[in-house]
Amino acid sequence: MAYASTSDQFRRDIPDEIRKLRAAVEQAIRLSPLLAEAHEALGMLYARDAGRLESEWSFRCAIDLDPGSSAWHTGFALYLLRSLGRVEEALHQLRIAEKKEPFPPQLQFALGWLLIPAGR
């Protein structure tokens, strides 16, 4: 997850982080194909590499594998939906996450990050 997070810092000179992320994600999926964290990281990787359909599938897979976690909805909203301009859909994902776990700091940050451009 660390490589996934650093690869999305709005920098363009990050091929090393992407390479490390790809290797880590591929290894995680090989070792445990039912690990939600691995699918979220794969979604982040695809989002970073402009694989929108693959990214959405990976985030939804993480949600299906671990439906009780708010993290997958938050990552889906921040890393893919927001970047595609699908703000209302991203906010919907965050509201789902909020019902599962109301106060994690990343969720509160994500809500602020999305509500400001939505004019709310």
Q: How far apart are the first and last CA of the chain?
A: 30
61 CA to centre of own chain: 12
Q: Which amino acid is at 84?
A: L
Predicted confidence band of residue 1 (pLDDT cuts 50, 70, 90):
low
Gyration radius of the chain over CA positions: 14
Predicted confidence band of residue 101 (pLDDT cuts 50, 70, 90):
confident
Predicted confidence band of residue 11 (pLDDT cuts 50, 70, 90):
low
Give the CATH superfamily of 2-115: Tetratricopeptide repeat domain (1.25.40.10)
Domain boundaries, the chain: 2-115
pLDDT(5) > 60: no
